[in-house]
Structure 1
Amino acid sequence: MPAYHSNFVGEDADARKIGNFPLLSFRTNYKGPSYPTTQEYDIIDEVLDLFRPNSFFKNFEVKGGADRSLIYGILYTSQALNEINKTTSQASAIKALNNLALEDFSLPGDPSFPLNNVFTSPKDRVEYNLLKSYLNQFRQELSARLIAKLYQNDIHNPDKFWLALSKRKFMNKSL
């Protein structure tokens, strides 16, 4: 059974790219370079929808730039779930994920980035800073929507079916 790929693979041709990472637009309340969109379904929703089925795959064939966004989003979601495993209440999870989203992280081209074989590095410092601010906005929005999904039934306890997947490593990688 093959892994689930992004539905935005055809749409990423119009998006600006840094290296081979597309700057796809998504609905957001956070400041950053992504243009807000009015689409009901965006790349962040797709990451959350495809996280659970794709977390079981060790191999993933990249079919386009949107798949790279999906890979990064799934790896970040896994990292966020590991942080939430250390907390219980929604308030402490919000604080932990805000800190995680804003902490310093590696980008494609950095020696510590785990997927340098899938991503190409930015050409110059301007592109590097733009990609960093885009991924910062991406991480913040993904964290907010993940918390909304995890605590939709009970604000004191996260959904145990999501937390059960925190130990799985998509593509045997982690951020």
Structure 2
Amino acid sequence: MPKQNPLSDSGKMDIQQWMRICQAYHSQLTSGSAGLVGNMAILPIRSQYRGPAPKTTDENDIIDEALYYFKANVFFRTYEIKCANKNQGIQDMKTLAISKFDIPGEAGFPLNPVYAKPSSLSEAETMRAYLTQLRQECGQRLCDKVFDGETGKPSKWWLCFAKRKFMDKSLSGFGHAYQ
């Protein structure tokens, strides 16, 4: 039986179609229970930031796993690195993390087909707080990986992925207009 063409008439691939046909990396973090907000899991993380995520002392958490698989799964096409050193990168990531952003159910959220809209205002506030906490911690850890600890210069092995998109979607960021 021939494979179905996952592209629509416009030549664009639907997110759900892409998720069904592409190889996926499965999380090693399968034990324990996670709270839910909408259909988003509130997973425990090692964090220096306050938020609704439970604290964990495990060596690896969901942020470590996401960064580990970043190069294999996520390729940005239009993100331009404008930081010359780690300190500026950390400051930019902190500013990005606390800036206003859309959550599932809002018009500007790029992955609305994947996540359910929060059912109440308190659930929306919890989701926004959780995503803010993840953004803060992820930004800190990403800067630790991207910038060399000794020289403070960006790693060419991370920057080579700076001009790609994820699932043909632009996930807008600090000071940049995508698409």
Q: Which range, TM-score by smaller chain?
A: 0.7 to 0.9
Aligned to 1:74: none
The letter for the 1-side match of 2:49 is Y
Aligned to 2:163: 167
Distance 1:91 1:82 in 2: 19
Distance 2:125 2:95 in 1: 19
For the aligned residue pairs, the C-alpha RMSD in angstroms reads: 2.0
Kindly provide the CA deviation profile for residues 2-57 of structure 1, in whole angstroms up to 9, marking residues without a partner as x: 1323223x337x2111111000001000011111101111100001000001125x
The number of residue pairs the alignment matches comes to 150
Aligned to 1:11: 31
Distance 1:11 1:169 in 2: 31
Residue among 107, 117, 120 paired with 2:116 = 120
Q: CA deviation at 1:153?
A: 4.2
Aligned to 1:22: 41
Q: CA deviation at 1:151?
A: 1.8
Deviates more, 1:118-127 or 1:88-97: 88-97
2:67 counterpart of 1:48: yes
Aligned to 2:8: none
Kindly provide the CA deviation profile for residues 105-135 of structure 1, in whole angstroms up to 9, marking residues without a partner as x: 0000001111111000100000000000000
The TM-score with structure 1 as length reference comes to 0.79
Decide whether aligned partners of structure 1 residues 155 and 126 sit closer, same or farther in structure 2, where only a CA change above 3 A counts.
Answer: farther
Distance 1:147 1:49 in 2: 14
Aligned to 1:105: 101
Residue among 139, 145, 151 paired with 1:149 = 145
The TM-score with structure 2 as length reference comes to 0.77
The letter for the 1-side match of 2:89 is A
| Higher RCO (C-alpha 8 Å, min separation 6) | 1
Which has the larger share of helix?
1
Contact 2:79 2:164 in 1 (8 A): no
Distance 1:32 1:20 in 2: 18
- Give the secondary-structure state (helix, strand or coil) at the position aligned to 2:136: helix
2:79 counterpart of 1:82: yes
How do 1:56-67 and structure 2 match up within 5 A? none
Contact 1:90 1:155 in 2 (8 A): no
Percent identity of equivalent pairs: 40
Gaps of 5+ in 2: 1-21, 172-179
Moved over 6 A (4+): none
- Give the secondary-structure state (helix, strand or coil) at the position aligned to 1:40: coil
The letter for the 2-side match of 1:3 is A
Higher-Rg member (1/2): 2
